[in-house]
Structure 1
Amino acid sequence: MATKVLDGNSLFNFVVLEGNGVKGMVDLGLSKVPEQYVQPPQERIDKQKAASHDNPPIDLSKLDGPDHDLVVEEIVRAAKALGFFQVVNHGVPLKLLDSLKDAAHTFFGQSPEEKKAAHLKGPSSPLVKYGTSFVPEKEKALEWKDYLSMTYTNDVEALQYWPNPCKEVALQYLKTSTKLVKRLIQILITELGVTPDESKVEGLMGLKFVNMNFYPTCPSPELTVGVGRHSDMGTITVLLQDGIGGLYVKLEEDLDGNQADQWMEIPPIPGALVINIGDTLQILSNGRYRSAEHRVCASSTQSRVSIPIFTIPKPTEKIGPLSQLVEKDGVAHYREFMFQDYMDNFFANAHEGKKSLDFASINSP
């Protein structure tokens, strides 16, 4: 049976169109990575060449004590240098984080029919999407990943339409993390010398998604990727890793500010959350903050889960560099646009590093 489905168009139909996902393919008994998942050499992850990251996580509880200014400095430095940092004492209960990982495994452990049914109920604009890879129809090589994406509108609809195995813990995760995101946005905007307007902050996190990503075991993980290199389109992403690891962030500059082109593995830290700066904050800051280009490797030993929360602007929100910064810099590096247009462009293309930012760049053709 495996031979019949893992061949040409039948593989694409089985995995993508019929909704069996990578897990369905692996469950058939897979001995090698199918051709459709083999990445070109330049897109593969060479763990031997990766830099190690040994920066300790930022303790957010110290924001409410005498070390407040030092913690703010750490957050701003990380947002400018890498576009990512890890945080502890973040206000999200540790038991909830464990429950989230269990819920993700429970959801993806269901039958293909149960998983496919998750996005068939609800409003005409679905609040739940179950899929695989990123944009399979546009990708030259598919990503070794299945995912569940849940859009938040309100608590009632979340509990009504999100899948039963994970709706309650996902909603609690979203609500506790939202407080964290709001505080980080306020800090980062204030440190630009701009007083954050409450309505502007709310607009920057007006749309929220909870995703559950599942990376099945892979016979030759060095040939493929779990997620290709990309930056997130939104304002801030909060990510829960499990203990297996596999997240890599691109180091664009070394410690001396010289241009670099190296990938850094982000080791999982028990109880920590990863914070990714998105394209929106890079644009708003006129390039002062850096959205984190990142990617994920597959694993040969264990299936991995990760659970990100994406906070992005309302589709009707106008996004562009803050006027106070343009006045100070004497030039705008990005144009103003409606965020819906940025989203449409982002989801219309396969992952290709930070190319999505070209849509907003003044200097792009």
Structure 2
Amino acid sequence: MVVLAKEELEQISLPVIQKSLPSSFIPVIDLSNPNSKSLIVAAAQDLGFFKVINHGISMELMSALESEAMKFFALPQLEKEIHGLNPFSYGSKRIGSNGDLGWVEYLLLEIASNPKSQSTQFCSILNEYIKAVMELSVEILELMAQGLHIKEKEVFSKYVMDEESDSVLRFNHYPPRPHMQGLSNRCLTGFGEHTDPQLISILRSNNTSGLEIALKDGSWVSVPSDHTSFFVNVGDSLQVLTNGRFRSVKHRVMVNSARSRLSMIYFGGPPLGQKLVPSPLLMEEGEQSLYREFTWREYKSSAFRTRLADNRLVQFER
């Protein structure tokens, strides 16, 4: 259980805002559809966000990993804080080091350091899931390149396939909302508004709502939950590689139900030393780069020094 003082709860509470949009508002990409590449490009340009079905990852695998993660989050708080789950790092309520708070606890794993030799049930399921979701990210990135009429292979996917890829897997657990006097007409922020700094995020959650995305006009809409599918976010790095053709989606998670929410997110990141510039294969004659050249290490370091809601790319724009 996440433990917050009353003052901290008030800090991360927001007025309840009712939003209702038909589930058809969220682009749904059937990966078995031959036309999926053009649909993915349209969604990445418009929202920077979409759902994928017929993704090839078994429900049994997703459910097994969710079950193992929930076993850990069900442990007493002190045991979680002391022992963690090597090689995971455990944290709760504090998101980063700049004062952002959320009604969340999490496990974070750097995929490059994943111990293949460990034979626990959790690690065995974890290894299988990481392999599957990384392959899914590669497939989606390849379809994006094809949809942009790039003939060269692995233009985007090479970054997450690289042995030095700085990719991570994160489990976010949002316990049920606490009932406290003065907060009855408010909802709690599980994870504050932000964009993901990596190339691509592949998210799967249990059947509990809470995820919201921002539209171009700044309004927020709720994303209907679907534990059988994956949701895909365009990240800041991919926005740079496409010179702004794809947009990094701003999103957040609100905790306003009596049920726990568990999200498993794969963040596909490039190697730390990788230079990030718009792909020359996309640039049209006379087109100017919107961004100056920088490395993923520079951007990652800069992102972690900022608050969640800050525009992280602005200082790298020309």
Matched, 1:318 2:289: no
Aligned to 2:101, what secondary structure does the other structure show? coil
Task: Specify which of 66, 71, 77 is matched with residue 112 of structure 1.
Answer: 77
Q: Residue 328 of structure 1 aligns to a residue in which SS?
A: coil
Match in the other structure for 2:159:
203
Aligned CA distance change for structure 1 residues 138 and 270 (closer, same or farther; 3 Å): closer
Structure 1 residue corresponding to 2:122, chosen from 162, 166, 182:
166
- Which residue of 2 is the match for residue 25 of structure 1? 3
Residue in 1 aligned with 2:192? 228
Segments of 5+ residues of structure 2 without an aligned counterpart are: none
- C-alpha distance in 1 between matches for 2:24 and 2:296: 36
Residue 120 of structure 1 deviates from its aligned partner by 8.1
Q: Tell me the TM-score normalized by structure 1.
A: 0.77
Give the secondary structure class of the aligned counterpart of 2:18.
Answer: helix
For the structure 1 residues 329 and 175, does the alpha-carbon distance in structure 2 shift closer, same or farther, using more than 3 Å as the test?
farther
Give yes or no for contact 1:100–1:169 (8 Å, CA) kept in 2: yes
Task: Check the 8 A contact 2:2/2:175 in 1, yes or no.
Answer: no
Would you say 1:277 and 2:248 are equivalent positions?
A: no
Pairwise CA distance, 1:101: 1.9
- Residue 34 (structure 1) aligned with residue 6 (structure 2): yes
Residue 319 (structure 1) shift: 0.6
For 1:45 and 1:52, the matched residues in 2 are separated by 22
Relative to structure 1, the CA distance from residue 335 to residue 326 in structure 2 (aligned partners, 3 Å threshold; closer, same or farther) is farther
SS in 2 for 1:280: helix
How far did 1:199 drift?
A: 7.5
Q: Give the match's secondary structure for 1:172.
A: helix
Rate the CA distance shift 1:339–1:48 in 2: closer, same or farther, 3 A.
same
1:242 is the counterpart of 2:201: no
Counterpart position of 2:313: 357
Report how far residue 40 of structure 1 moved. Answer: 7.1
Change (3 A) 1:120 1:280: same
Q: Which structure has the larger Rg?
A: 1
Q: How does 1:204-219 map to 2 (within 5 A)?
A: 204-205=160-161, 206-218=165-177, 219=179
Residue 310 (structure 1) shift: 0.7
Shift of 1:51: 4.1
1:151 paired residue number: 110
Letter in 2 for 1:153: A
SS at match of 1:38: helix
1:132 aligns with 2:92: yes
CA shift in 2, pair 1:285/1:24, >3 Å: closer
Change (3 A) 1:150 1:136: closer
SS of the aligned residue for 1:323 comes to coil
User: Structure 1 residues 235, 134: closer, same or farther in 2, change over 3 A?
Assistant: farther
- Cross-structure match for 1:13: none
**CA–CA distance in 2 between the matches of 1:330 and 1:215?**
44
Q: Which residue of 1 aligns with 2:18?
A: 48
User: Percent identity at matched positions?
Assistant: 28
Note closer, same or farther for the CA distance 1:270–1:119 as it changes in structure 2 (3 Å cut). closer
Q: Return the alpha-carbon distance in structure 2 between the equivalents of residues 275 and 45 of structure 1.
A: 27
Structure 1 residue 330, shift from structure 2 partner: 1.8
CA distance in 2, matches of 1:24, 1:294: 22
Structure 1 residues 78 and 158, CA gap change in structure 2 (3 angstroms): same
Q: 1:270 to 1:131 in 2, by over 3 A?
A: closer
The answer to whether the 8 Å contact 2:104/2:173 transfers is yes
My pick for the range that moved more, 306-315 or 294-303, is 294-303
| 1:346 aligned to which of 281, 303, 315 | 303
TM-fit CA distance, 1:45: 6.3
Distance 1:98 1:37 in 2: 31
Greater share of strand residues, 1 or 2?
A: 2
- Residues 233-253 of structure 1: CA distance to partner in whole angstroms, max 9, x if unpaired? 11111101111111001111x
Structure 1 residues 41-64: Cα deviation after superposition (integer angstroms, max 9, x where no partner) = 8xx3644145444246321122xx
Name the CA distance, whole Å, in 2 between partners of 1:84 and 1:45: 25
Q: 1:189 to 1:137 in 2, by over 3 A?
A: same
What is the alpha-carbon distance in structure 2 between the residues aligned to residue 118 and residue 337 of structure 1? Answer: 37
| Structure 1 SS opposite 2:281 | helix
Q: Secondary structure at the match of 2:299?
A: helix
Unaligned runs of 5+ in 1: 1-22, 27-32, 63-67, 122-126, 253-259
Who is 1:65 aligned against?
none
Task: Quote the RMSD (CA, aligned, Å).
Answer: 2.5
> How big is the shift at 1:358?
1.6
